[in-house]
Structure 1
Amino acid sequence: MKKKLLSIVLAASMVTAVAAGCGKGSDEGGGKSDKPVELVFWHSMGGAGGEAITKMVEDFNKAHTDIKVKAEYQGSYDDAINKMKSSQQGNAGPDVMQLYDIGTRWMIDSGYALPMQQFVDEDKFDLSTLEKNILGYYTVNDKLNSMPFNSSTPILYYNKNAFKEAGLDPEKAPKTMKEVKEIAAKLTKKDGDKVSQYGYSMAVYGWFFEQFAAKQGLEFANNGNGRKDKATTVEFDKNGAGLNIFKMWKELYDTGNAGNFGRKTADTQNAFNAGKTAMMIDSTAVLNSVIKGVDGKFEVGTAFLPTINEGDKGGVSIGGGSLWIMDKKDKNRGKAAWEFIKFMVSPEQQVFWHKSTGYFPITQKAYDVQEMKDHLKKYPQFQTAIDQLHASPVESRGALLGVFPEARQVVETQIESLLQNKITPEEAVEKAATTINSALEKYNKANK
């Protein structure tokens, strides 16, 4: 009898122990723990962006006792991707990752992340308040893959004082690249062969090539810019987009009125701030730093990205990056990551983020916040970016390529060769298309 009783007690103890163990949580997130869920957030924001993220994460942690987020800077986006690939071998990567826009196709194909749409649907989260053109880039087959976070578009920056000195109306910025060419001639200042102020400049940047293609309303790649199906070839060599861009770039540069300060956009920006160029194309994200850099030396004007042709009906595509929830095979961690992302895109946080960095608020509700209204009143230049975003058709949202980082470098190499008179615009188009198509073929074979 004693043995039987002892067996019953032992069995009951084991059941209790198992139940207690289950209560502490499992890979399926079946229970809750007294300890906060700890999340790792990888980002690639240095400077003001990094400081803003640190503050946002601190505020989140203070407001959420059940979740603790640790933000870790990973260097450039490319550095972060390489670390991500290595970390996946031991499931040691982050819970949330910031990735640049052109890494979207790669991340989808990798299978490393969970689609954001899953969390949106489960939580019945209202996406209608977010900017549709920004959401559009990260939406494929009606499924949102990641949450937009640091979003930007290119705009024209110009020196209003220089316009006045040249007898130009400072409230009338050029709307086409033909007008840019004409106005640049009037703005350029020369002392013999030495140029003290170029009329216009833009960095040798593949993103600008993509933007001018979108502005023409033409696709960069086939299969609906890689959205109906994976892109297998580029389209810019067939639809005329590439040739129009290369010709425009070369003709403008050959006038001697357009400066070339290399691939780094910061170098062109510094030239503009110092008055060495009177107009430039750059991201909306640098507006704050431009205004601070100019420091009152002249009034900064902003305008839409000029069109290449008079009747172009396209718009601009979103640049920047988004937030991905990595698949850690743990429902509790996934839900915690979703709570963190909702916080990061809330109106108040997006106003703080915009004021700190210059990136777009991705939610329209941010413009109802008084702090944002005051900010726009102080810096009306940013209204240009908002108007341009809303005026852009969703069809101009940009392409998805698994080899986009390489594609940009290929385009930049061709632009440099073109400006150095090593190749013609026609040859630049052919070489860029051939090289990118070859990379696409290899990528698609490896990612069936």
Structure 2
Amino acid sequence: MRKKGVASLMLASVMAFAVACNGGSAPEQGGAKAESSTGPKKVVFWHAMGGANTKVVDQMVADFNGSQNKVKVEAIYQGTYDELLNKLKTSMGSNEGPTVVQMYEIGSRFMIDSKAITPMQKFIDADKYDVSQLEPNIIGYYTIDNKLYSMPFNTSNPLLYFNKDIMKASGLDPEKPMKTFEDVKQAAEAIAKSGKANGITIQINGWFMEQLFANQNAEYVNNGNGRKSLATESLLNTEPGLKVLTWWKSMLDSKALINLGRNAGDTRKAFASGQVGIMLDTTAALKGIVEDASGKFEVGTGFLPKPADVKEGGGIVVGGASLWMMNNRSDSEQQSAWEFIKFLSSPKEQAYWHISTGYFPVTVKAYDEQSVKDNMKKYPQFQTAVDQLHQTKLTLATQGGVMGVFPEARQLVEGAVEEVLNNKKTPKEALDATAKTITSKIQQYNKTVKQ
């Protein structure tokens, strides 16, 4: 998934600058230097895939460059998602930026409002590209007003992870799904009471709040989750949010939950060492979680839980990032970049990406690749993630909310959760105050946007 340190998108002066300077396509000489009429077309790709994932990206780029001689892609790692976003903002209005940029899903509204991108739909329509080959619940996030703005690249969703051995030792049946908040709380309390381990830990991450809203089929912001028109109000303090935070706090109060803060690494270490029986985490971490537990215990996976009184609807929202085409590059350079994007989305490349990183394939036929079938046998826990994705019905709620200040909003939500878990505010007090702040920031942002 991820993960995502958070920096504010509410830089109104930068937004105004971006809108003013990036209104349309550059002439055929777009770029710091005139393009040579001979040799391959150069495409610059900025991304935020660090660590081992950098090598995977580099290999995919090398595969593309070696597959033809008309386009040469240069991949440049630009740091975390937030660092990448800030570098992109700085580059807007100049020719120093990328042709294609990877942007996390919560940066989507900013990318659209910047007027600095060419919607992917333009290339899809011109090329008669068959979007039915892409996962509908993945492209759903990046589709607004029936237009696909960017091409999904790395995609994840949240899962419930549990230690089957600890569950058995605590008198629980690990093969019986924990479907509801109440199921999870009862299991966590049983584990804690047994003394075998702490019951559950949940990383303080705003992403989980967003997901637990969607799993109740509840919208996170108004105006159709910001998809019918610009969001103007946060819905954080509505009943779905109160249910989530009340449940979260109740498990702490009953000593079923151990709070390990915002660092995902801390929750994963606690789970791997057998200190905790249950946790929420991203599908992108599944391979590492299973391997860290190898030889110690068996890892089980389950769907994200929901309140027992939510009977129908709901599901997960995809996390991760997508690829955006910058419009200040020449038409021919953008077309060359489109060829690269299509290559990355092919079944073979998506199979390699999935196996190497743990992210979902965005292309349906990738699951037919033998390498993916073999990997699924090795990591059967991932079938839970695939089933959860495919069983999610696409609604305005499960498409995910969009707002220009989403990174900042996520940080504010994490602060609200901390206030509640640290007994500084009640769930209602924390959510009311945070919703008010987010709403104010949304409205400030909207004033900078020219529709």
TM-score normalised over the length of structure 2: 0.90
- 8 Å CA contact retained: 2:30, 2:95: no
**Displacement, 1:28?**
8.4
Q: Is 1:250 the counterpart of 2:267 in the alignment? A: no
1:264-279 equivalences under 5 Å are 264-279=263-278
Q: 1:129 aligns with which of 130, 133, 136?
A: 133
- What is the aligned partner in structure 1 of residue 421 from structure 2? 419
- What is the aligned partner in structure 1 of residue 445 from structure 2? 443
Alpha-carbon distance between aligned partners in 2 of 1:310 and 1:91, rounded to the nearest angstrom: 54
**Displacement, 1:190?**
7.4
1:390-409 equivalences under 5 Å are 390-395=390-395, 396-409=398-411
Q: Which secondary structure does the structure 2 equivalent of 1:366 belong to?
A: helix
Q: 1:122 to 1:250 in 2, by over 3 A?
A: same
- What is the aligned partner in structure 2 of residue 11 from structure 1? none
- 8 Å CA contact retained: 1:201, 1:279: yes
**Displacement, 1:421?**
0.6
- 8 Å CA contact retained: 2:99, 2:329: no
**Displacement, 1:329?**
3.8
1:123-202 equivalences under 5 Å are 123-188=127-192, 197-202=197-202
TM-superposition CA deviations, 1:253-300 (whole Å, max 9, x none): 111111111111121111111111111101100001111221321111
Q: Is 1:383 the counterpart of 2:387 in the alignment? A: no
Gaps of 5+ in 1: 1-24
- 8 Å CA contact retained: 2:170, 2:194: no
1:16-415 equivalences under 5 Å are 26-27=28-29, 33-188=37-192, 197-238=197-238, 240-312=239-311, 313-395=313-395, 396-415=398-417
Percent same amino acid among aligned pairs? 49
Alpha-carbon distance between aligned partners in 1 of 2:127 and 2:275, rounded to the nearest angstrom: 52
Alpha-carbon distance between aligned partners in 2 of 1:358 and 1:266, rounded to the nearest angstrom: 17
- Tell me which of the two structures has the higher relative contact order, counting C-alpha pairs closer than 8 angstroms and 6 or more residues apart: 2
**Displacement, 1:32?**
8.7
TM-superposition CA deviations, 1:88-136 (whole Å, max 9, x none): 1322100110000000000000011110000001111000011000000
Farther-moved stretch of structure 1 (270-279 vs 220-229): 270-279
Aligned residues: 419
Q: 1:94 to 1:28 in 2, by over 3 A?
A: closer
- 8 Å CA contact retained: 1:27, 1:331: no
Runs of 4+ in 1 over 4 A off after TM superposition: none
**Displacement, 1:417?**
0.6
Alpha-carbon distance between aligned partners in 2 of 1:389 and 1:220, rounded to the nearest angstrom: 19
TM-superposition CA deviations, 1:56-99 (whole Å, max 9, x none): 11111111211111111111111111111111132210011000
**Displacement, 1:189?**
6.2
Which amino acid in 1 is paired with 2:221? Answer: A
- 8 Å CA contact retained: 1:99, 1:323: yes
- 8 Å CA contact retained: 1:226, 1:400: yes
Q: Which secondary structure does the structure 2 equivalent of 1:385 belong to?
A: helix
TM-score normalised over the length of structure 1: 0.91
- What is the aligned partner in structure 1 of residue 19 from structure 2? none
Alpha-carbon distance between aligned partners in 1 of 2:169 and 2:108, rounded to the nearest angstrom: 45
Gaps of 5+ in 2: 1-26
More helix by share: 1
Q: 1:329 to 1:52 in 2, by over 3 A?
A: closer
Alpha-carbon distance between aligned partners in 1 of 2:47 and 2:171, rounded to the nearest angstrom: 46
Alpha-carbon distance between aligned partners in 2 of 1:190 and 1:167, rounded to the nearest angstrom: 9
**Displacement, 1:342?**
0.6
- 8 Å CA contact retained: 1:328, 1:334: no
**Displacement, 1:141?**
0.2
- 8 Å CA contact retained: 1:95, 1:337: yes
**Displacement, 1:420?**
0.7
Which amino acid in 1 is paired with 2:126? Answer: E
**Displacement, 1:333?**
0.4
Which amino acid in 1 is paired with 2:243? Answer: N
Which amino acid in 2 is paired with 1:429? Answer: L
Structure with the greater alpha carbon radius of gyration:
1
- 8 Å CA contact retained: 1:246, 1:428: no
